[in-house]
Amino acid sequence: MERRQFFLSTAGAALARPAETRPVRIGVIGTGGRGRSLLRGLLSVEGVSIPALCDPDAANLAQALALVTKAGRTDPAAYSGEEDYRKVVARDDLDAVLIATPWQWHTKMAVAAMRHGKYTAVEVPAAQTLEECWELVDTYERTRVPCMMLENWSFRRDNLAVLNMVRQGLLGEMVHCHCAHSHDCIDHWFWDPQGRDRWPAEYLRVRNCDQYPTHSLGPVLSWMDINCGDAFATISSYATAQRGINAYFARRFGPDHPNARREFAQGDIVTSMVRTHKGRTIVINYDMQLPRPYDNRWMVQGTLGIYDENRASVYLEGRSPKYHEWEPFAPYQERFEHQWWTALRQQAGGASHGGTDYLELAHFVDAVRERKQTPLDVYDSVTMSCVVALSGMSIARGGAPVECPDFTRGQWRTTKPKFA
């Protein structure tokens, strides 16, 4: 443990130092709201330049160009054609690309970038189908160019502290996890406040699955050593009927609004159960269409105790002061603070999503600069993403278990835990 902490400390210190080498040159593909948020993060990371921006939406592109100019950087080249991402990834003055586009573009753009030797950061989910998952893996294994899905909840301060607790044995042997993406997205993400379609709305019409599993699974992969000692074996998924979308439109716009009567394929809540090869279980909830506050409901349980994010509490056998009573997580957060946060807290403090975006971008940039593997690799990326397709298959089969592909081709059995 002391040796691990030494390496974590030195790695964090290296990230905190000003860059001593040439800038890491990153092209950004997709400059809508999420793309611009990530662009701001990149501009705040020491030693990054932005030679190229790409988006077919002229207004989005203009706003992104203004951000770079305001930061006092050289004006990037601007690309506005739908297929112009191919020109961006082919540029010889880029080290990496960041992709923040609608879902249907993620895999094809990431594959094109890897084939041109560019480190690739791609928004979530990285893939929509099993075929796309395998295309990402096969491309990485042919090119050896890293591809990292930008799952920011893997980098949350609390989740990294829990990871330290897990690795130091406080919870014993891992047995079970619960995780969720519970976020009412009807009025701003699937549709705008005026009820007009945004691009994700079409997915609710045509498929029934866990549309967005990666924010649920991000920290779970490292807590449970998935792909580093264990792996997904099977998944079973069930969906409720759809009531929330119709009810929202009837309530907000009246019962005669088309979406108050339209049929949608997507159920309101999807519950999936993953069983791993070592006999552990993971429950994953999709819950994005009903009125509710945001929460992830992370819970990790082992042979010596349990952490419950929703309660902000822990119980640890032999450590918690009262028998079978919860105690606050806050003191453990301080005691088991991860070195990534102690090294970069000042820089990350004002960044989006509580600093997690800055942290993941800083570590991606460091990987590009040092020409090393990214914190989340292509296998992590497709393991989280494949739940989209697999949950849909299981729901269509009445909840029958579906076998999870082994994207690592057996390497999970010997690979040592590596994230953070």
pLDDT tens column, 246-305: 999 999 999 999 999 999 999 999 999 999 999 999 999 999 999 999 999 999 999 999
pLDDT > 50? residue 142: yes
Instruction: Quote the pLDDT of residue 9.
Output: 42
User: Taking Cα atoms as reference points, which of 212, 213, 267 lies closest to residue 240?
Assistant: 267
- Burial label for 382, CB within 10 Å (0-12, 13-18, 19+), is buried
User: Taking Cα atoms as reference points, which of 37, 48, 10, 7 lies closest to residue 123?
Assistant: 37
Please state, rounded to an integer, the average pLDDT across all residues of the chain: 93
Question: Domain residues of the chain, as ranges?
Answer: 2-153, 156-338+376-413
State the distance between the two ends of the chain, measured CA to CA, in whole angstroms. 13
Q: Check: CB of residue 52 under 8 Å from CB of residue 77.
A: yes
Instruction: Quote the pLDDT of residue 322.
Output: 78
Structure tokens at 270: 């999807």
pLDDT tens column, 303-342: 999 999 999 999 999 999 877 899 999 999 999 999 999 8
Instruction: Quote the pLDDT of residue 1.
Output: 35
Which residues are registered as beta bridge partners of 54? Answer: 29, 79
pLDDT > 70? residue 153: yes
pLDDT tens column, 204-247: 999 999 999 999 999 999 999 999 999 999 999 999 999 999 99
Structure tokens at 274: 């993953």
Which residues are registered as beta bridge partners of 281? Answer: 176, 275
The average pLDDT across 120-135 equals 98
Domains 2-153 and 156-338+376-413 share a fold: no
Cβ neighbours of residue 104 closer than 8 Å, sequence gap 6 or more: 128
The average pLDDT across 99-115 equals 98
pLDDT tens column, 29-74: 999 999 999 999 999 999 999 999 999 999 999 999 999 999 999 9
132 C-beta neighbours (distance < 10 Å), count: 24
pLDDT > 80? residue 186: yes
Tell me which CATH homologous superfamily contains domain 2-153.
NAD(P)-binding Rossmann-like Domain (3.40.50.720)
User: Taking Cα atoms as reference points, which of 171, 200, 161 lies closest to residue 304?
Assistant: 171
Backbone angles phi, psi at 132, to 5 degrees: -70, -40
Instruction: Quote the pLDDT of residue 353.
Output: 63
Residue 135's H or E segment, with its range, is helix 130-143
Q: How far apart are CA 20 and CA 22, in angstroms?
A: 7
pTM above 0.75, yes or no: yes
Q: Check: CB of residue 35 under 8 Å from CB of residue 60.
A: yes
Q: How far apart are CA 53 and CA 99, in angstroms?
A: 10
Binned at pLDDT 50, 70 and 90, residue 349 comes out as low
Q: Which CATH architecture is the domain 156-338+376-413 placed in? A: 2-Layer Sandwich (3.30)
